[in-house]
């Protein structure tokens, strides 16, 4: 796995995951919506920590700065 996510991309994903968690804990979202968004938030956090997004591969997309 070659890293293909930059720091801004990772920070944005973690921020979105935190917002989703906040919406859930304050009972703003519930049911199936909470379940789907919760899974999405977990994927965002996981890909942020790995610095790798598999959906970027088929498109040759990368937000990481060139070295």
Q: Which tens digit of pLDDT belongs to each residue from 7-66?
A: 999 999 999 999 999 999 999 999 999 999 999 999 999 999 999 999 999 999 999 988
Please state whether the predicted TM-score (pTM) of the whole model is above 0.85.
Answer: yes
In this prediction, residue 54 carries a pLDDT of 93
Structural Rg of the chain based on CA atoms: 14
- Residue ranges with strand state E in 1-67: none
């Amino acid at each position: 796995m070659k890293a293909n996510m930059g720091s801004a991309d990772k920070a944005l994903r973690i921020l979105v995951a935190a917002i989703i968690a906040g919406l859930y804990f304050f009972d703003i979202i519930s049911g199936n919506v909470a379940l789907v968004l919760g899974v999405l938030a977990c994927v965002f956090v996981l890909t942020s920590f790995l610095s790798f997004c598999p959906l970027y591969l088929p498109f040759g997309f990368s937000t990481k700065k060139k070295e």
